[in-house]
Structure 1
């Protein structure tokens, strides 16, 4: 219980702490294979964000800032001080917000098909955020809607995770789940695209080891966002999964695990320096302008 609301989470293992944050409409089960593989060497924590999975779904604040505060409070109740944060999609936006609000608690950032680094997003998400969309979402649970959902998954280039995605859309027939989904979506997306943009604060990741992982065929959050974020985050690493869509950690779990382990082994945890943080804020941006050209980026075959 945190602030009177039930918070579901998965936790296992021992060693340095890794916090895994899922995307909108998803839950902690998206990380299960990774959690199992990493638990021998790390303490792994994967919550169901408020309004998702088995966590409570109240009428509440579903902004990325509120989610970041919720993660701080959950970690405090678990007596965990510092973590490497791995975030997918919406969870990536929450991870960045967590690092921005609580830099002293963030050791590393791993952003997977992350929101919050550009305006563009799939038109269907913009449509879902529009007024009146909530009246149509209950129809997703009817038999005629299933072929439409499958076509939607193909359009989003997530056919490899088709059954997984369809099962999550079907949850929207539940009133509380649907309400939480809409509140969350509308806090970050409107009819013009993503509302929350962290690019103006990405320079603050200096000193925080950051890994960006994207699928080249991501149609939910296009891979162009990855290049933009890579240029805006000093010292960040970017790996593109060739042929993968919005779920590279699911479509190529072995390759993703290998890259994640390598990143964790090769980068020391960030050491928060309040004086340096103040210098960065007073400077108001990076010392050097962000280059316009795209850097060389390693590509990984996803097997998709």
Structure 2
């Protein structure tokens, strides 16, 4: 059974129950310039878990009346509110991983475990420069920078193939993207790997870029309860394009955390 609801914090949340007694609860956190719907293919392989998928503030149906800027701290508070009273496994993609790791550092008791797929470290001195608008409040600058970001992640060919309606549906998320990335880049580190004290599976694709491979490996090396895993042939959009392999890693992590608890 799937229920779509508006959370008290204004988030659009969809909870899908498997109907299986004792099924494990998994909360999914999407990345920048994305929505919770990006996990649809992954969820098709996970019918035996109770899934919670939401649009982060500023994205999808969680626009929250244009209350910009949407800072990392606000996203962390949103996730902790969703977890409160429901100790859960969390699967997070890209910048969603930064949010989930920051939340786990603060409230590890709410996490049964955590799987991150290519969580970045944009505050690190070795992280490449981001093509962010000089003024996150300038509509034209945000639109131009967001277009460059999308072309880089989708490829110029795929971007050119989109019609105007699909392009606008992506670019409407530009203000949230610009605010959160600017905050993550210029603010203090959102988390310290050494302080992540939950069972963590840090995952990257073998065809992703060097910065995401390095960040994932560093996270796996330094977090006390972390393991590293890779998905062969996957790039940064592995949650969409290699969903079956990622679902298998999540199942493995769920089983490992359940055994450890027992």
So what's the TM-score if we normalise by structure 2? Answer: 0.79
Q: How big is the shift at 1:88? A: 0.7
Residue number among 217, 225, 239 corresponding to 1:235 in the alignment? 225
Contact preservation (8 Å) 1:216, 1:243? yes
Q: How big is the shift at 1:103? A: 1.4
Match of 2:106 in 1: 101
Any residues of structure 2 matched to 1:118-157 within 5 Å, and which?
119=124, 120-121=126-127, 123=129, 126-131=130-135, 134-138=139-143, 152-153=151-152, 156=153
Distance 1:87 1:49 in 2: 12
Match of 1:12 in 2: 16
CA RMSD of aligned residues (A): 3.3
Can you give the 5+ residue segments of structure 2 that lack an aligned partner in the other structure? 1-5
Match of 1:44 in 2: 51
Provide closer, same or farther for how the CA distance between residues 209 and 168 of structure 1 changes in structure 2, counting only shifts above 3 A: farther
Q: How big is the shift at 1:196? A: 4.8
Distance 2:169 2:27 in 1: 25
Q: How big is the shift at 1:203? A: 2.2
Q: Per-residue CA shift, 1:164-221, capped at 9, x if unaligned?
A: x9687633554xx43322222211125xxxx45356x322334x21101112332384
Match of 2:63 in 1: 56
Residue number among 173, 183, 188 corresponding to 2:184 in the alignment? 188
Q: Per-residue CA shift, 1:214-255, capped at 9, x if unaligned?
A: 123323842111111111112311112234221122221221
Select the structure with the greater relative contact order (CA < 8 A; seq sep ≥ 6). 2
Q: How big is the shift at 1:112? A: 0.4
Contact preservation (8 Å) 2:69, 2:176? no
Distance 2:233 2:15 in 1: 32
Distance 2:157 2:100 in 1: 23
Match of 1:281 in 2: none
Match of 2:3 in 1: none
Distance 1:170 1:253 in 2: 26
Can you give the 5+ residue segments of structure 1 that lack an aligned partner in the other structure? 272-304
Task: Kindly indicate whether residue 27 of structure 2 is the aligned counterpart of residue 27 of structure 1.
Answer: no
Task: Kindly indicate whether residue 253 of structure 2 is the aligned counterpart of residue 263 of structure 1.
Answer: yes
Match of 1:248 in 2: 238
Task: Name the SS of the counterpart of 2:174 in structure 1.
Answer: helix
Q: How big is the shift at 1:26? A: 0.2
Please say which of residues 30-39 and 211-220 is displaced more in the overlay: 211-220
So what's the TM-score if we normalise by structure 1? Answer: 0.69
